[in-house]
Amino acid sequence: MINQKRILILYADAGLGHRTAAFAIADALDEAYGEACQVDVVNPLDDKRAPLMLRDSQSDHDWMVRDVPELYKLGYQASDATVTSTLMESGLIVLLFEVMRDIVRRYQPDTIITTYPLYQAPLDAVFTIGRFYIPLITVVTDLATVHRLWFNDAVSRCLVPTPQVRDLALDAGLSPGKVDITGIPVPLELVKETRPVEAIRAELGWRPDLTTLLAVGGRRVTGLYQALHVVNHSGMPVQLAVVAGGDDVLYDQLQQTQWHAPARLYNFVHNMPTLMHAADLILCKAGGLIITESLACGLPMLLVDVNPGAEMGNADYVVQTGTGEFGQDPVAVLEILSHWLEHGGQLLAERAANARALGRPRAAYTVADYAWTAAQHGPYRKAGQRFLGRSRLLDLLRRNKVPVKEDS
C-alpha cells in the first residue's frame, strides 16, 4: 500500500504569477510522484471568513496599479519597512488565524508550499499555539524587488528566483541554509514544447521567414498599442502576433487597425507557451510571470510598461542582465528594435542567448522535489515559543476577539 504524502499549496489571485506558480508546482508533483502524492491547491482568500479588504485586494490590485500607480508605490514602499512589516504580520495573524487553522485541520498536510507572502505569519501562529510544526516552503515570485513580508523565519525553506533575491532574504535575517535559488515555477508546457520554430509557425499560420514579434497586453498594460502603432508603420521586415490578454477594448482597437505588417490578433489564449516558442522577441510589461516565462523560452524582452513596486526591480533585472531593454515611449521602442535587427540581428541573438542562460524552465520540478523531500519528514510536535511567543500570541488573538483555545 502506498504511503501517500499530502502537500498543500497556497496561493492568491493578486496577479497571475502566484496562481501560475502554484498550479505549475502541482502539475510537477503529479507528474513526478503520481499516486504517492496527494496535492491540494487552495486560495485562503476565497474563504468568506477572510476579511473583505484582503479578498478585495485581489481584484483591487489591478485597479490600483493601473489607475493610481503612485499611491500603490507609496503603500508598497511604506509597508516594506521593518517596523511596518512587523506590524502587518501581527495584523495578518489576527485576520487570517481562523482561516489558516481550519485549512490545516482540513487538509492535514505533510508539508505546505505558499506562493503568496501573506500566509507565513498566520501559519506560524497556528503552529506555535498548537505546539506542532509542518514543514513550510515559500516560493518567491518576484525577480528582484521583493517585499519583506516574503521572508519569515517560520519557513523551513525559502526558494528564490535569483541571487539578488537570495541576498535580500539573507539581509532580512533568514539563515543561508534555508535559502535556495530555484527560479520561479512556470507552466510545464514551456518545457515540453520542443518542436522546431518552423513547425510551430506552420501550425499557427505564421510566416516562417520573418522576424516575429509577440506582443502581450492586458488590462494592466499601458503603452502597448502605441508601440505597435510605430512598429506597424516602420516598414521593418517583421510580423506581429498580438495577444490582448482578455482586454476587450484593446482587442477591438487592434481589429479596427489597418495593419501594414503581417499581423495575427488574439484576445485571450490558452497556448501562450506555444506562441512564445514560435516568436523571436516579446513586447510586454515588466510582470514577474511573463519575464520568467520569456527567460524560460530564451525570448528577448522589449518592455513597454513598468508598474510601481516589484516590477521596477523586474525591469532593472532585465536590463542589467542583457536579456532585454525598456522602451520608455514608442520612439524608444522603435530605436531599440532597429538596433536589435541591424547587422543580421546580431544584438537580438545576443539578448536571446542571455535569456536562455538565465532561464530556469524546470523550476516547478525543482520545487516539487524540495516539497517531496520535506513531506517525508512531515508534521512533528514541538514546544511553541517562537515568533511572538505562545502566551503573547494567545493574548493578541483574545484581545482581538479571535476564538482560540490553548490546546488548539
The CATH number for 197's domain is: 3.40.50.2000
CA–CA dist 220, 23 (Å, integer): 22
Tell how strand 380-381 and strand 132-133 pair up.
antiparallel
97 and 215: one domain?
A: no
pLDDT higher than threshold 70 for residue 226: yes
86 and 227: one domain?
A: no
Chain-wide mean pLDDT for the chain? 89
Q: Are 168 and 146 in contact (CB under 8 A)?
A: yes
Asked if residue 405 is part of any domain, the answer here is no
pLDDT higher than threshold 50 for residue 131: yes
Q: Are 364 and 188 in contact (CB under 8 A)?
A: yes
155 and 79: one domain?
A: yes
Q: Where are the beta strands (DSSP E) in 189-236?
A: 211-216
CA–CA dist 346, 369 (Å, integer): 38
pLDDT higher than threshold 60 for residue 58: no
DSSP 215-227: EE--TT--SHHHH
28 and 140: one domain?
A: yes
156 and 237: one domain?
A: no
Residue 51, judged by CB atoms within 10 A of its CB (0-12, 13-18, 19+), counts as middle
pTM reported for the whole predicted model = 0.88
157 and 244: one domain?
A: no
Phi-psi domain of 218 (left: phi exceeds 0; alpha: psi -120 through 50; beta: other): left
- pLDDT, residue 67, reads 47
SS3 of residue 20 by DSSP? helix
Asked if residue 202 is part of any domain, the answer here is yes
pLDDT higher than threshold 90 for residue 53: no
Give the mean model confidence (pLDDT) for residues 81-93: 71
242 and 330: one domain?
A: yes
Give the mean model confidence (pLDDT) for residues 372-399: 76
Asked if residue 64 is part of any domain, the answer here is yes
Give the mean model confidence (pLDDT) for residues 173-180: 96
- pLDDT, residue 397, reads 83
Q: Of all helices (H) and strands (E), which one includes residue 289?
A: helix 288-297
Q: Number of folded domains in the chain?
A: 2
Pick the last residue of a domain from 342, 358, 374: 358
42 and 155: one domain?
A: yes
- pLDDT, residue 276, reads 97
pLDDT higher than threshold 90 for residue 76: no
Q: Where are the beta strands (DSSP E) in 293-369?
A: 301-305, 324-326
pLDDT higher than threshold 50 for residue 404: yes
Structural domain harbouring 130: 5-186+362-399
CA–CA dist 37, 30 (Å, integer): 7
Q: Which three cell numbers stand for residue 233?
A: 508603420
Give the mean model confidence (pLDDT) for residues 43-51: 90
CA–CA dist 297, 303 (Å, integer): 16
175 and 309: one domain?
A: no
